């Protein structure tokens, strides 16, 4: 009784001073979380997904007063870690930060998937998206995407486009570009962004399609030319690069990150996490932090995340089927 009166007195005193008592957030109608929460990341430590996850985990820990422990479970294009989330108990103590690959594209790329993203996962929050860039070696005589497409159409053998691996979003974006432009592009598959960028800088290939993150320094320094970004709007960190749609090429291709849980996750836990994540990434600092990783923040409801999954599923299923892309 005395402690309750003391807390009441402190709250009143702090309010009079224009301050407030900070207490850990709790899910409405319950005490969750009462122990550490595991945040599964289906990609290796040190990558952009991992760095975003660690930033969110720190913020969630501060908001809820419990540890949110990042657990990297890699393999099979993100399927292994995402499957662990899908098969976890729906008690709020295992969630995951995954990407549009495992959450959408992979079900069309792999002949068998150990989980169904639509049925086995609960959407919690869309976090951010990373646009792709179509970049060229500065020696290529094209200032924009339409000019490059004209060159590639006239001399396909002389204008090759690199991508960071079969089935990656960079690969899918090239196939989408070929479909919407009617220009069959000569492509070269690499094992990741770095070898593709090395060959682009040397002139071994003339252009590439990949998430913008790894290429920001060379684009900023003029060592590479940004022909287009493939997001709906220009990337805030490199506003001089126009979008593909601005140039009359009807394509949008991004990789987005989202927090999900197993199917059946209690609504109060979903709501608490969604509110907290929106606050963390939607803050001025959060937006600036994620922009350093090449990411643009997207906050919203679980329903908006579900809609993003549905829209991308329709788009990429068509691209993957038309290009006959499979990974196993």
Q: What is the mean pLDDT of residues 292-305?
A: 95
29-129+255-323 maps to CATH 3.40.190.150? yes
Lowest mean pLDDT among 46-50, 147-151, 219-223, 263-267: 46-50
The secondary structure of residue 242, as a DSSP letter, is P
Task: Report the pLDDT value the prediction gives residue 11, as an integer from 0 to 100.
Answer: 45
Give buried/exposed letters for 200-227 (b at 16+ CB in 10 A, else e): beeeebbbbbbbbbbbbebbeeeebbbb
pLDDT tops 60 at residue 147? yes
Q: Please check whether residue 324 is in contact with residue 306, taking contact to mean a CB–CB distance below 8 angstroms.
A: no
Asked if 29-129+255-323 and 131-247 have one fold, the answer is yes
Q: What is the mean pLDDT of residues 101-127?
A: 97
- Helices 284-291 and 267-282: angle between axes, nearest 10 degrees: 80
How many Å apart are CA 61 and CA 311, to the nearest integer? 32
Class for the domain spanning 131-247? alpha beta
What sign does the dihedral 106-112-118-121 (CA atoms) show? negative
Give the start-to-end residue ranges of the domains of the chain: 29-129+255-323, 131-247
Task: Report the pLDDT value the prediction gives residue 29, as an integer from 0 to 100.
Answer: 54
* Number of other residues whose CB lies within 10 A of the CB of residue 313: 18
> pTM for the full model?
0.88
∠ CA 24-29-33, rounded to 5°: 45
Task: Report the pLDDT value the prediction gives residue 102, as an integer from 0 to 100.
Answer: 97
Q: What is the mean pLDDT of residues 211-223?
A: 95
Q: Within a 13 Å sphere around the CA of 188, how many CA atoms are in the beta-carbon half?
A: 19
Burial class (CB in 10 A: 0-12, 13-18, 19+), 98: buried
pLDDT digits (tens, 9 = 90+) for 93-108: 999 999 999 999 999 9
pLDDT tops 70 at residue 41? yes
Mean pLDDT of the chain: 92
How many Å apart are CA 80 and CA 77, to the nearest integer? 8
pLDDT digits (tens, 9 = 90+) for 278-298: 999 999 999 999 999 899 999
Q: What is the mean pLDDT of residues 57-68?
A: 98
Decide: helix, strand or coil at residue 136: strand
């Amino acid at each position: 009784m005395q402690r309750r009166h003391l807390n009441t007195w402190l709250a009143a005193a702090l309010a009079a001073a224009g301050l407030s008592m900070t207490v850990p957030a709790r899910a409405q109608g319950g005490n969750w979380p009462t122990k550490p929460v595991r945040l599964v990341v289906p990609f290796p430590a040190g990558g952009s997904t991992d760095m975003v996850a660690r930033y969110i985990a720190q913020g969630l820990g501060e908001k809820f007063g419990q540890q949110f422990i990042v657990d990297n479970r890699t393999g099979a294009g993100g399927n292994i870690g995402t499957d662990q989330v899908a098969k976890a108990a729906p008690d709020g103590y295992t969630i995951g930060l995954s990407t549009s690959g495992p959450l959408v594209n992979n079900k069309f790329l792999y002949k068998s998937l150990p989980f169904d993203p639509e049925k086995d996962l609960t959407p919690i929050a869309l976090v951010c998206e990373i646009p792709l860039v179509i970049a060229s070696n500065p020696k290529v005589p094209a200032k924009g995407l339409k000019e490059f497409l004209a060159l590639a159409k006239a001399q396909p053998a002389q204008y090759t486009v690199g991508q960071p691996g079969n089935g990656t979003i960079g690969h899918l974006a090239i196939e989408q570009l070929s479909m919407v432009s009617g220009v069959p592009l000569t492509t070269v598959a690499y094992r990741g962004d770095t070898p593709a960028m090395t060959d682009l800088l040397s002139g071994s290939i003339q252009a590439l399609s990949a998430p913008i993150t790894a290429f920001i320094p060379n684009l900023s320094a003029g060592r590479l030319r940004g022909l287009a970004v493939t997001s709906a709007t220009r990337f805030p960190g490199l506003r001089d690069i126009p979008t593909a749609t601005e140039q009359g090429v009807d394509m949008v291709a991004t990789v987005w990150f989202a927090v999900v849980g197993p199917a059946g996750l209690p609504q109060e836990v979903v709501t608490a996490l969604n509110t907290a994540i929106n606050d963390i990434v939607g803050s001025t600092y959060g937006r600036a932090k994620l922009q350093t990783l090449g990411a643009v923040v997207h906050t919203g409801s679980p329903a908006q995340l579900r809609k993003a999954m549905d829209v991308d599923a329709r788009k990429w299923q068509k691209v993957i089927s038309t290009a006959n892309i499979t990974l196993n």
